[in-house]
Amino acid sequence: MKSLELIVERIILSSRWILVVFYLGLAAALALYGVSFVYKFYKVAISVFKLEEDDMILAMLGLIDAALVASLIVMVMISSYENFVSRFDEADDEVSFLGKLDSGSLKIKVASSIVAISSIHLLQVFLNANQYENGKIMWLTLMHLAFVVSALMLGYLEQIMSKAKGKDAKEIRQPE
């Protein structure tokens, strides 16, 4: 019976390596997104003298948005691999946040990134408000507010959890 339990535990622990397929897929998606970014940049560059100021601002916001999405992909790939699959052996000097992002911190960073991306999209909508119906603008604003509230709640819950962890650690170190 004990050997069956050991086999099941080894299978479950080894199955975490299946996640690598997803992270490699994200790396491939990041490469494709990089090609898309270069194309967007090229379109902006060839029309830099033709664009009005508002259109140039919208183009720059699109590039900033792409950079935030790419950063989000990298952060999720690296942190998830580090947290769920295996530690990076020699990358601690190269990537300063390695080992500092647990799953709770990662969720907060992802939520913050989503809020930033949503903010940029909403700003683009506001700059082109004449192209949108008021109802759509209202729904986009409400969705953005939902992202903001969710990020704030995640931060608050993480703060509660870290205080609880600290309290538990003190109780373990100093038994009464």
Task: Assess whether pLDDT exceeds 60 at residue 163.
Answer: yes
Query: Exposed e or buried b for every residue in 52-79, given b needs 16+ CB within 10 A?
Result: eeeeeebbebbeebbebbbebbebbbbb
- The answer to whether 88 and 23 have CB atoms below 8 angstroms apart is no
pLDDT one-digit tens code per residue, 54-65 = 889 888 988 998
- Work out the average pLDDT over 51-74: 89
Single pTM value for the model: 0.70
pLDDT for position 175: 53
pLDDT one-digit tens code per residue, 83-141 = 788 877 766 566 665 556 666 677 787 888 888 888 888 888 888 888 888 899 999 99
Query: 79: pLDDT confidence band, cut at 50, 70 and 90?
Result: confident
Task: Assess whether pLDDT exceeds 70 at residue 170.
Answer: no
Query: 149: pLDDT confidence band, cut at 50, 70 and 90?
Result: very high
Q: What percent of the chain has pLDDT over 70?
A: 85
pLDDT for position 138: 92
pLDDT for position 97: 58
- Over 111-141, what HEC string results? HHHHHHHHHHHHHHHHHCHHHCCHHHHHHHH
pLDDT for position 53: 84
Q: What is the mean pLDDT of the chain?
A: 84
pLDDT for position 169: 56
- The answer to whether 81 and 55 have CB atoms below 8 angstroms apart is no
- Please identify which residue in the block is written with the tokens 């140039």: 56
| 97 CB burial (10 A radius; 0-12, 13-18, 19+) | middle
